[in-house]
Structure 1
């Protein structure tokens, strides 16, 4: 599969590469990539024909967005690339408006992301996580307003319940307003729970699906070895990290054993 095997995302006219470049590790000190390595990864992806760059306001506390903006501007690629970013997680502890799914936060977060990305619009804007309290109608109206003002071209939902995504999509259809284009969900050989409800919902609603962590945070890359007391290997799953050791289960090791065969 080539990065220039372009396809449209969901039922939209947005043309993207089949694989996007995730930049969560750009600018991350511990298990991420130094600035020069991040730029090399960016350049290799673009030079291979890729056009879909994915970042978020919380990645490396905003540094990932800054680097993506710098690399894009340096090569004058803004019109060629589909830049996607996200908001939802709190970026300023103690300030309730620095996170969540409400209108106030989404506007605040987007303005900050635009500054870091050095652009006046983003092609795709993800609700990174639903706060479980903001009504679907408010999120839909907020995102629709941003589409109409030109600050975003399309929007989607990340890691949300199937029923809530369906409610939001159906509201958009009923009122004839811009609705979500895609879902971004964890999906890999060791994380397949989305097959029960979310994938059927996406298919029924015509939503694209962008999997995140297809290698299960590196677990499926084969860099870790099973040990009697856990696992060994260098990577984001070793030592203190946001993901814990949840990937090191007997069931997952059996999947990896089959892949190694």
Structure 2
């Protein structure tokens, strides 16, 4: 098992990409702290990991709440002694053109993605630096590299995560900490499913056209990225044996974006 006895925190892991990574980490031997906005959601993922023979704990964590993040990381260290891997995955979406975008909606998206990632990073690094090793991972997007209409706060936040990842790679090197960002294309999570009718309404096209002509238009094969695709990359990055792989953006998008 590639992550045997590693201690991992994954935020936004009650469903979607975060949950898929959490379950895969459990299968690979990691002890997984599943953090989500509600304890019930986190506990559902924990039960799935445990039923598959893994070890996990549930945390209620609002990543925009400084105290909640600090207490969550402390609970992991109190239970398992250290923190080896942290994945800043929690995220939300909002669909609106810039000229109609409410400031509150702009702030909310940036708060969850970017400020939340900062709080998780700071708390995790303070533990990783104590042990002289660690792996920070960020859930970016192809929108860390490019832009799409109607998603300005999301695009801005994902670009910001790329910068944070690179800064952490520079600072963390002397403490044995690597930092990388995973940039998926469209994955059919609840977050994406919600966007399909929203974009259809805003653009005046059918949901089928949103999928074919907006979401998957620039892929090489017209296919969605899968949860399994992203989880496999997250395992590979966490298991990579040296600092040769740090400060990198790994795009998983069926060729939508090539770098």
Bin of the TM-score, shorter chain as denominator length: 0.3 to 0.5
Report the TM-score, using the length of structure 1 for normalisation.
0.40
Report the TM-score, using the length of structure 2 for normalisation.
0.40
- Specify which structure has the bigger relative contact order, considering alpha-carbon pairs within 8 angstroms and separated by 6 or more residues: 2
